[in-house]
Amino acid sequence: MKILVTGGLGFIGSHTVVELQNKGYEVVIIDNLSNSNLEVLEGIEKITGKKPFFELLDLKEKEAVENFFEKYTDIDGIIHFAASKAVNESIERPLMYYENNIHSLVYILQQMKKRGLQNFIFSSSCTVYGDPDTLPITEEAPIKPALSPYGNTKQIGEEIIRDTSNAHKIKSIALRYFNPIGAHPTGYIGELPKGVPQNLVPFVTQTAIGKRKELSIFGDDYDTPDGTAIRDYIHVVDLAQSHVVALERLLQNKNKEDFEIFNIGTGRGSSVMEIVKAFEKVNDIKLNYKITPRRAGDVPAVWADTTKAEKELGWKARLTMEDALKDAWNWEKKLKQKIK
Ligand code: WQD
């Protein structure tokens, strides 16, 4: 079976390619290298011993997408990661986000419809829930007005897929990720944020390695046990494996509706301070940090109810936040060795 992974050189995409290859799938990666680099291909090959097919392609180029599907006529399933995903950047550059994230999705779906392709997995996000009324969050929780153009492209994306799946019988699943962290235990692939990391864990590891002076903890005055905000941090390998499970549900026609949605998290919340303390403990390292004012747009607490994924997909996160923090640190140290 041959699976197309768009954005397959990215953080979650690359880990998913590894899990697909481990299960014997042939993988074709499309990536435009706007937020990734070709070295990731070598990292994947070091782990699995197999080099995926790779096409340097920008999915916003409608003709290029058409040509791709002329060339690869034996695609059995598609996992679509390719998108811009920086919340703050999307607020400054909304049109780039709408053009990139929506056009790419539409052009892929148009090809699926044209060629009768089935089995589509979409990278969605817990950002669609905004600031939830109740916790933990189930898939039935109301969708709140998006807090950023990025989050809006995920909401709109889900609606585009729902309507397309219903009209053209394209079996689809949207996976709503919570907070992906960590790296592959081998240290050959991991998170490669460009510039100053927006996300917590890469900022933590870059502070620990000395690339950043100190971590700012954005607010300790939230209505949470230790005052810092709570998130559901999921190991990227667990998240990657959930994509293979979801894809196989479609390949084996086990889906109950044309379009299904699943929360992918651990079901457990951890505060920023708990992450910092766990990182120090598992890696036996002291972290420089200070408390600063809240970051605009942050919600106090978000974590997943994963009952549906457990019941319907038979999937549950197995790795812990501590495992992820150990693997994230191992990866940061390997990155430093590479630069030497
Ligand atoms: C986590 C917590 C910050 C940095 C992300 C993605 C979003 C979506 C969900 C994909 C918050 C705090 C952070 C720092 C800090 N994923 N923090 N100091 O905001 O939950 O959103 O996951 O769709 O796209 O951005 O993750 O890692 O930015 O923040 O105190 O230097 O850590 O305030 O409470 P977030 P994050």
pLDDT of residue 40 exceeding 70, the answer is: yes
Residue nearest to atom 34 of ligand 1 (CA): 229
Residue 73 inside a domain? The answer is: yes
Distance separating alpha carbons of residues 73 and 112, to the nearest angstrom? 11
- The letter for the amino acid at 64 is A
Residue nearest to atom 4 of ligand 1 (CA): 200
Q: Which two tokens stand for residue 123?
A: 């990278």
150 an active-site residue? Answer: yes
> Mind listing the pLDDT tens digit for each residue in 44-63?
999 999 999 999 999 999 99
Length of the chain as a residue count: 340
Number of domains making up the chain? 1
**Residue 129: HSE in the Cβ half-sphere, 13 Å Cα cutoff:** 27
Residue 43 inside a domain? The answer is: yes
Ligand 1: atom nearest CA of 272 is 32
DSSP 201-265: HHHHHHHHTTSSS-EEEE-S-SSSTTSS-EE-EEEHHHHHHHHHHHHHHHHTT--SSSEEEEEES
Residue 226 inside a domain? The answer is: no
pLDDT of residue 236 exceeding 80, the answer is: yes
Sequence-ordered list of residues with C-beta below 8 angstroms from that of 277, at least 6 positions apart, any chain: none
> CATH number for the domain including 112?
3.40.50.720
Residue with tokens 């079996």: 171
Residue nearest to atom 11 of ligand 1 (CA): 229
CA of 70 relative to ligand 1 center, distance in Å:
40
CA of 199 relative to ligand 1 center, distance in Å:
5
Q: What is the reported pTM?
A: 0.97
pLDDT of residue 43 exceeding 70, the answer is: yes
Residue 322 inside a domain? The answer is: no
Sequence-ordered list of residues with C-beta below 8 angstroms from that of 143, at least 6 positions apart, any chain: 128, 129, 130, 155
pLDDT of residue 339 exceeding 80, the answer is: no
Residue-number span of the structural domain to which 32 is assigned: 2-182+234-266
Residue 178 inside a domain? The answer is: yes
Mean per-residue pLDDT for 173-185?
98
- The pLDDT of residue 340: 61
pLDDT > 90: what percent of the chain? Answer: 95
